[in-house]
Amino acid sequence: MPICILHTALLLFSLWAPAQTQSGVPRIIKFSGQLTNAADRGLNGVQGITFAIYSAPTGGAPLWQETQNVQLAAGRYTVHLGSARELPNQLFSSEEPRWLGVRLLQP
């Protein structure tokens, strides 16, 4: 079972994707990241990854989450958050910071 290290941290509050609802809340957010194993080698192939948005940097229940099958090339990937499960309108309406959690699902 490879141990993966997330090389990305993201404060989502300031990100606004082109696809937005009438209220200005993004429907889809483009996000890129990199996953490596314990030897710092990038993972390859299709992997299941769960993305979750939180209201605090540590702890607490996610405000939103979705799982996507993601193609990794040398650990790098790009996804469109909200493409598997819609981002709720109220997620960014409070103007409070949001944090993104990324978890690789193990086979």
pLDDT of residue 6: 43
Strand order in the sheet with 29-36: 5-6, 29-36, 76-81
- Residue 74: CATH number of its domain: 2.60.40
Asked whether 83 and 28 are in contact (CB, 8 A), the reply is: yes
Segment 55-81, tens digit of pLDDT: 999 989 999 999 999 999 999 999 999
Range of the domain at 79: 5-104
Q: Using alpha carbons, list the distances in angstroms from residue 12 to 36, 40, 44.
A: 22, 26, 26
More confident site: 43 or 3: 43
Segment 6-39, tens digit of pLDDT: 434 344 433 434 445 555 666 899 999 999 999 9
Number of domains in the chain: 1
